[in-house]
Structure 1
């Protein structure tokens, strides 16, 4: 195993051996997996955004050329780049291209502003930023230029322009701080020989949940994330005939890989990216693209239920709706099946790893009232009291987890790690849970 990026906590060797022996980890990087998907599913539609359709073959070629363009711009393997894009095809292309170039994307919500973004740049020492020029009235380029002027790290700002928009920066420019501004569309060069990369290295960073403090960085490796997306796809019987709607932000773990975008691409399905999360737009997208699966929060599900009578969209293509991110009221859960005519799947997931899901064959009562069971047979779960002692089944306690896709530490955060991880590697989720007699979990996330 190659040394992990400085500031990350690796899995102990005995666990690495265990996860390899079980076939969970397979030693292939996510960007190299995309090459295989392009060969297998070349002419099929990979991404849909409005009236634009992107095939697997074109997606891989664009990733190849953008990766070469990033390297030509001076990005080096291991360097970090903050990616702050809405649900557009360029999000998927950019993330895979940065990974293919050997750089490490830091996935940042487009809603974050200077305080959060500057924190991410500082902690990761990010040399690059990819974001819209302006989005929903906010000037992201000016924010990035200000962050670059205040610190020594950020030196390349790649600006995404929506089709038809014009940039005040035009071609490549250099501002007074020495930061280069480059249109993302011009990051393009003939593909080079593929870099030799190791799948046990960090593929990208997700951000931890919690709105009361600066976001913590969650390092996800190629091996662990490929396994998570693949296993989640197998659990929901995902096939090339499925159409996944990315209705929540694409950089969320739930949307990106539970099975989400990565899982859908891994089987040759189509990913529909909805930039405007308005319920009417999402429901019309389900009808228009014959969406079969999506993942939303309880609040979004309730909005969809409330507006459906007025929108009158045909949702008959839906076979599964995943609900996570907060407790789902039983009354809402019962409305979903009747209103949408599809199966409900409840889940609990965190950027740090652990994913629990109800199974498609579970009894209705299980689906209506629990968050299911852990994704992997090698997920290890403990529910403990305030003294760290395991509580009996049925009793509530703090949920602890370790496993083949649950990280062993935050990035460059030793103080947080001392509080958030046990000495034997369990992640303290901070959420309350209890185990039902049939082994399912009822989780109550703590704000």
Structure 2
């Protein structure tokens, strides 16, 4: 079904989603309200409710209704616990009641999270929602400055932390934030309690015996903010995606429904659970659908294989390409029975074709690809799609009312099918604006509310519904004088070299041309490093234009990864800038 100006909506399989409705009419995006939230236009929200996508309930109300329905089924498995839905929900209710009884935090407050993949993180997240308190999904790797910037921007009053995470640095950070008046309350969920902080056990004891029917979540407005998710960096003005109750609940339920999750489904998740991907691809859809969530403490391959052998999951809902490569490189993977994995979904960055083929040929894994963002929109290669679609595209959007335009960057003009442009999206679980960021919203959204993702994409027509490929980031373009070099294009060709295991192409500063291309290479074991000359000769043989050739090659043992398993090009750019500066001294 076509929407105005070329947007598309996908017809849902029978019994899963309601039939598509007419797309919302073009019109200006609403202004932010007094809280800094940009709401969905009233007529658009009404249309989503009339179509049955939004149900008029708060996110915690939907989660608790599912918990009551699934009762004795297994909800959460970690190396330490195995809890039923009844056990998990009762513990979260006790935590919520204790939070309101023993701290100064009140419904509507925002609370920063710095916790890893432990069962208490799930309890704390659900407990905050039940108490009407809004989680801010920071990560335990964030430093004091980053947490302070975000807390001040949001007016957050509290911090929950895992004191035994990593090197044990989080209590010291929390003390500093308390001393500076950035936060008023600190809750230690694991590890030793310090100073005036409140402990997890104390909150559970304080909440024992309280009537869950008095918890504030029953009265939370469905159009209000449930959770704050982070997008991009935290320097300068933070980019914070305010996820509202109805749309976030729909997002989670839709993902689980699209993948057919239900009783008997086991979902294994190894990446940070408090990242938007963890919440909306694993935690919430699993709990809303009655599936069991296996929460891995880390993405260590040995740990992952142990959990696969022990729990036999059908689904790995987000595997970064770097993690897929590490799985291929681990000898034990080739001896482990991976036949249980029927949905091995790769996302985060473009999957090299060679990796997809090796997963198929060496481990018997048929990959699916996805694309998603903290701002909302998800795309997924359909179940049963042909190999070309699964290996070369991220498929189609999930919802029948999702809309996509491919625009010429910096304009509102659509490009023809097959041409590269900026992916711009709008729909029933895509935000209408960043929180308290009116100036940034003016450039981040079209006049009628399509979010400009900054991703370069193409629309493909392959007989049925259109599908989309992601072909890099607008900012991942190296500006070599008047020429533009798309990093993904060069990286794909470099990966054809039999001696190269991994590659990342980044910009390095140049006083004449502005930028030149530097290739960071991880070589296959025992293979000699490539030089600028040998790599260039290979790429010319693959048909790459000469101006796109890397002008410096750095051989490394491994590429640095971000907190969510993506290659950290920011670190690589900093590395090459440091090396160039040292060489000019």
Deviation at 1:314, TM superposition (A): 2.3
State whether structure 2 residue 255 is matched by structure 1 residue 247.
no
Counterpart position of 1:91 = 121
Residue range with higher mean Cα deviation, 215-224 or 363-372: 215-224
* SS of residue matched to 1:409: coil
Q: Please, what TM-score do these two structures have when normalized by structure 2?
A: 0.71
State whether structure 2 residue 210 is matched by structure 1 residue 191.
yes
- Looking at structure 2, the residues matched to 356 and 131 of structure 1 have their Cα atoms a distance apart, in angstroms, of 33
- Looking at structure 2, the residues matched to 118 and 308 of structure 1 have their Cα atoms a distance apart, in angstroms, of 43
Of 78, 91, 94, which residue of structure 2 is paired with 1:65?
Answer: 94
Give the CA RMSD over aligned residues: 1.8
1:412-445 Cα shifts (integer Å, max 9, x gaps)? 1112111211221111101100101221111134
Counterpart position of 2:12 = none
8 Å contact kept, 2:67–2:287: no
Change in CA separation of 1:275 and 1:186 when aligned onto 2, cut-off 3 Å: same
Deviation at 1:309, TM superposition (A): 3.6
Gaps of 5+ in 2: 1-31, 477-585
Counterpart position of 1:75 = 105
What count of residue pairs does the alignment treat as equivalent?
430
* SS of residue matched to 2:330: helix
* Mapping of residues 204-219 of structure 1, within 5 Å: 204-210=227-233, 215-219=238-242
* Mapping of residues 283-322 of structure 1, within 5 Å: 283-294=305-316, 295-309=318-332, 312-322=335-345
- Looking at structure 1, the residues matched to 90 and 202 of structure 2 have their Cα atoms a distance apart, in angstroms, of 15
Counterpart position of 1:177 = none
Counterpart position of 1:104 = 134
Deviation at 1:335, TM superposition (A): 1.9
* SS of residue matched to 1:240: coil
Of 403, 409, 425, which residue of structure 2 is paired with 1:401?
Answer: 425
Q: Please, what TM-score do these two structures have when normalized by structure 1?
A: 0.92
Deviation at 1:5, TM superposition (A): 7.3
Gaps of 5+ in 1: 175-180
Counterpart position of 2:257 = 234
8 Å contact kept, 2:161–2:170: yes
8 Å contact kept, 1:318–1:341: no
State whether structure 2 residue 41 is matched by structure 1 residue 19.
no
Deviation at 1:357, TM superposition (A): 0.6
Counterpart position of 1:282 = 304
Deviation at 1:215, TM superposition (A): 4.1
Deviation at 1:138, TM superposition (A): 3.7
1:152-195 Cα shifts (integer Å, max 9, x gaps)? x411101122xxx5x162xxx43xxxxxx111232121334132
Counterpart position of 1:178 = none
- Looking at structure 2, the residues matched to 214 and 76 of structure 1 have their Cα atoms a distance apart, in angstroms, of 26
Change in CA separation of 1:5 and 1:69 when aligned onto 2, cut-off 3 Å: farther
* Mapping of residues 74-153 of structure 1, within 5 Å: 74-151=104-181, 153=182
State whether structure 2 residue 66 is matched by structure 1 residue 37.
yes
